[in-house]
Amino acid sequence: MIGTKDDGSAAAPGRPRVVYIAGARNCGSTLLDAILGNAPGARSLGEVAGVFRYRSYLACACREPAADCAPCVAVLGAIDRVGAAAEFTKVSRLPLKERRAHWTLIGTRARRRYAEVADLVFDSVARTTGSRVLIDSSKNASRAAALAFDSRYDVRVVHVVRDGRGYLRSRRTRAAADGTRHIPVAAMSGWLTKNLLIGSVLGPRLGKRRYLICRYEDLISDPRSTLDRICAFAGLDATGLVEAATEQGVRRSHLYEPARRVDYRHVRLDPARLQSQRESRGRNLAFWLLGGFVSARWGYDRRQSYLPTAFVPVGDRPLGS
């Protein structure tokens, strides 16, 4: 029932529900955000934690100037009028950094203040669009805790987990494009820390009614059952979502965010995405020894047998094959 939180605090009756997508970087949060934002009565907000970066003259992720971005302009105007963007400058820098991990366990004045400012954004969106479910894909565990425990809204957390090998390959590709050095151990530690913080600390505190885990690979390979499960949890109508997301794709109608390297204006679920996660036997072993064995708790194994057609390295094939 909307209006009551598991921790005993009350969310105001009649307010829209907030679905917070949590996870490590490159986990598929933008993809899920875009799809859920196309459900009837839903509104995709992108990374609300990054609203403080808004400037009307900057290009939005849709490649239009923010002041001319049709899906955003009315909502951003409402946010400007209540001063939320300016307040976020004080409380929401570095939206993807886990600098306040203690928020998952301890209520502080800063945590309550973050929730208050985020609520100003949610209020503005709800009044402007009339949406009943708002999607925030900020990913950060500590911000998820702030909203779940201190927001006036009914907040549900969807934890998107991606196989660490897919994450590492994404980071490696990004480093090559930027001309920077890729350090697997450092990247791996971030992936492990964030997922364990969300899954082992925040998840148990929220309980099954307010915390749901979703594997990126299941969203890609079995979108129907995965989206049905997420929509049931979020209170959304999944009718037509799978067809739209897998066939023609969906248009992202988000709140402002800076233009990205990858064009996310239009997204589609494509099983070929999983092929990029296949790794050699040597890299699979290195991943497992670096801490990847922890991912067994989410159903991954060293040989990546969860992939639609399991990759069998040459050295592991029977003789004569």
pLDDT digits (tens, 9 = 90+) for 128-142: 888 999 999 999 999
Range 78-107 average pLDDT: 76
Residues 6+ apart with CB under 8 A from 103: 110, 111, 142, 143, 145, 146
If you average pLDDT over every residue of the chain, what do you get?
Answer: 83
The answer for residues whose C-beta is within 8 angstroms of residue 15's C-beta and 6 or more apart is 2, 122, 126, 152, 153, 154
Give residue 207's pLDDT.
95
CA gap 308, 217 in Å, rounded: 9
Q: The tokens 């494009």 sit on which residue?
A: 177
Taking only the tens place, the pLDDT of each residue in 1-10 is 333 344 544 4
Q: How many domains in the chain? A: 1
CATH number of the domain residue 266 falls in: 3.40.50.300
In a domain, 7, yes or no: no
12 part of a folded domain: no
197 part of a folded domain: yes
Q: Print the domain residue range for 215.
A: 17-279
5, part of any domain: no
pLDDT band, very low/low/confident/very high, at 248 (cuts 50, 70, 90): confident
Kindly state the helix (H) or strand (E) to which residue 85 belongs, with its residue range. Answer: helix 84-91
pLDDT surpassing 90 at residue 146: yes
pLDDT: is 185 or 210 the higher one?
210
For residues 91 and 110, the answer to whether their CB atoms sit within 8 Å is yes
Residue 145 lies in a domain: yes
Give the separation between CA 264 and CA 275, rounded to whole angstroms: 20
Dihedral angle of Cα 215, 216, 217, 222, to the nearest 10 degrees: 80
